[in-house]
Structures are given as C-alpha cells and as structure tokens.
Amino acid sequence: MTERTSPNDAPAAEERVPFYGERFQQDSAALYAQMRARHGPVVPVLLDGDLPAWLVLGYREVHQVTEDSELFARDTRRWNQWDRVPEDWPLMPYVVHNPSVMFTEGSEHRRRAGAIGDALSEVDQFDLQRACERIADRLVDEFAGSGQAELISQFAMRIPIAAVAGMFGMPESQTPDLVRDVALSLDVGPEAMPAYARVQEAMARLVEEKRRAPGMDVPSALLAHPAGLSDDEIVLDLLVVTAAAQQPTANWIGNTLRLMLTDPRFEMTLTGGRASVGQALNEVLWHDTPTQNFIGRFAARDTVLGGRRIAAGDLLVLGLAAANADPNGSLGPDVDLQGNRAHLSFGHGEHGCPYPAPEVAEVIARSTVEVLLDRLPDTELTVPAESLAWRPSVWMRGLERLPVRFTPAYVSGA
C-alpha cells in the first residue's frame, strides 16, 4: 500500500528522498517507479545541497501543473528557499532569474513566446532538412574512411547547434566557435560562465548585424515582429532557443541511435529495410526522453497536489520521464506507441516548447539519423549494449559515449 501523508501533514525530513547521486545514472526508470510506489505521484525530495522540493511523477499531476500557470508559476523569484541557497550552488543556472522568455509570466510570456513561435514558423522545414543533411554528410565524411567513430562527440553533439546557426543566419565561419562555447556553457565546469558570456556577446553582435541588414532568418523575424521586442529581449530569447535546441536535440539523436543499434526491430533485414527512424524517435521520447526532469514551477499560493500540501513558494520539479512512464497516465501496458504523441517530453501548456519548436527539433534529429544510417548501414556497437554509460545527471538523459564500427566508406575528395 502506498505510504503518503495527508494534505495537512508536512513531510518529515527523513521522508524526503535525495534527488541526486549515482542512483540516477543507469536505471532511473526503476527508481522513479519505486518512488511512485512508496510516495505517490508527488514526492518530497531534497535537491543537491539538501534544499527541499517536490518531484511531480504522475502524468495527470504534471499535466495539471503545466496547465495552470497562474497557480504553478514560472518566476523563480517566488521560491521560498532563497535564503538557504549558497552562491556557488551547482543548480543555480536553472533557477537564477533573468528577463528572458524562460522566466516571464502571463501576458508578457505570451508576447515573448508568441514571437518566438512565429519566427520559427517562418523557417522553411524543407530547407532546414537539406541543411541538416549537408551538416550530417560533412560530419560522416570526417570518420567514414576510418571504419570507426564515437557518435556522441563526433556526430550527435555537433549537429543541433550547427543547424541553429544556419537558422539564425550566422556566417559559417562563426559556427565552430559557437559550437564550442555553447557546449561549455551547458557544462558545470569553470569555463561555463565565461563561455555563456561569449555566446551572449555573439548573439548581441548578431542582432546588431540583423538590424542593419535583415535576412530570411530567426533574428530578423524577431526584429520585425509586431510584438516590438527590444534588442536585449531578442538576445536573451535567442540564448534560450539555442540552449533548448542544443543539448536536448543532441541527446535525442544519440538516444535514438542507441535504440536503433541495440533493438533487434531496427536491424537491417536481408531486403535492406528496418523499422522507421520516426518510430525510434517517438519511442525515445517516451522511454529515454532527453529532458528527464525540469526545474520547475513555484506555487503562487498554498494548494494541494496529488494528496500533498504544497506551500506558497514551494519548488516543484517536473518529472517528465516518470510522467511518461506512469501506468496510471497516458501510457498503459498495452498502448501502441506508433503515432502516440501524448508524451510530455516537450512540456505542456503555455510554458511548453512553443509551436513549431518540436517539429523543428524533429526535422534536425530525423534527417541526421537517416543520413548516418544511409551512409553507414552496417554500423554496430563496439561494446556490449549494457556497458553504455549515461551521463551522471538527474536532469538530462544522454550517453557519455556511443562507440561504433562499420565498413570503411570511400569519401569523395578525401
């Protein structure tokens, strides 16, 4: 029987589950299932540094939180634990407030998110697909002749930011620096903040250039949008788009390649066919979604969620991976995943990924996976599938490495 407190009881310190550590590196799905069985759909947890929060595991509960943006708000300044947060807290990048679309609320958020959605809608997805195929071909050319590769660092991680640079109308000569600095800025090392500052400076220069000479690109569309965004607003929102596109899409590519290289359904047959890349992409969003958990929402007033008493200012972590796997939610044991897009991997509600961002991400992921498998159809792992290691993060779900071998392929001009 599930052990849970009544809505009038605050969780004792010993009841809170540490939400960090090596337990989350491998079979996190089993851990989420154990937490749900013991605590129900809303679990009292301790973030790194022993700061209290709520992990929302239930599909219905995550849907409720993301649907009601007035009760479960986005502005991190509402948090009731700020007096306990050290300046060097490792999760500070997730909660420190800035005036980007990420932390706005109400009509201001709708103004900013609407402009981003409209700008992304002007991206020609057929042109984007061709651009991604060229990027993927160029990367495959770098290792095709060797007969081996490490597909995370040499392929998956290098594609999304290069695609974004093209969508932003950045000169190709600037792309390598942007790729390097975005990767560093999303890390937890000492180079993260200097790299973030360089990316921000690059976006500021880009906006200035596009104001002088607009083109058919996302920054130019934002500058011309009737929402009347300022240059500073556009710079910050371009940073959000860049970060949101890079790590999640790169992990989506990597996790999909892992599935297709380890699941017999996706092996090449004697007639040359395999289960579709689209099927694999969708299954990954259900079972190995790139963003496992997300900080978060903040209760605007006292309320009850999933039988738990939530106090005003409490932090709620959205357990997207756990919600997707909730047996009481959209994914029952007999549900066919083919074509089922009811997952919560892109969030939900007005703070979810604005349309058409998920479609843009899918174009990037699908086209590049297809290029790799078309160019190197006999690709196989060089290590046992069970030895593949996931990055030590409770937030992102992505592999450390994906080493493969294949028949060396001739590269024209190599």
Q: Quick: pLDDT tens for 19-51.
A: 987 777 667 888 999 999 999 999 999 998 899
Residues of the chain with pLDDT under 70: 1-10, 12-14, 25-26, 187-189, 268-275, 330-339, 412-414
List the one residue out of 218, 222, 239 whose CA is nearest residue 231. 222
- CA-based nearest residue to 94, from 82, 76, 73, 118: 76
Before 296, cis peptide (omega within 30)?
A: yes
Give φ, ψ of 187 to 5 degrees.
-90, 180
pLDDT of residue 192: 76
User: What residues pair up with 399 in beta bridges, in sequence order?
Assistant: 390
Token representation of residue 381: 């792992």
Sign of the Cα pseudo-torsion (324, 327, 331, 334, in order): positive
Q: What CA–CA distance (Å, rounded) separates 189 from 244?
A: 19
Q: What is the pLDDT of residue 413?
A: 60
Predicted pLDDT of residue 2: 42
What is the reported pLDDT for 164?
Answer: 94
Dmax (CA) of the chain: 71
Phi, psi torsion values for 227, nearest 5 degrees: -65, -15
Cα 120 to Cα 218: distance, rounded to the nearest angstrom: 6
| pLDDT on residue 392 | 82
Question: How far, in Å, CA of 57 to CA of 40, rounded?
Answer: 8
pLDDT of residue 59: 96
Beta bridge partners of 404: 149, 381
Token pair, residue 18, equals 């540490």
Against a cut of 0.85, is the pTM above it?
Answer: yes
pLDDT of residue 275: 66
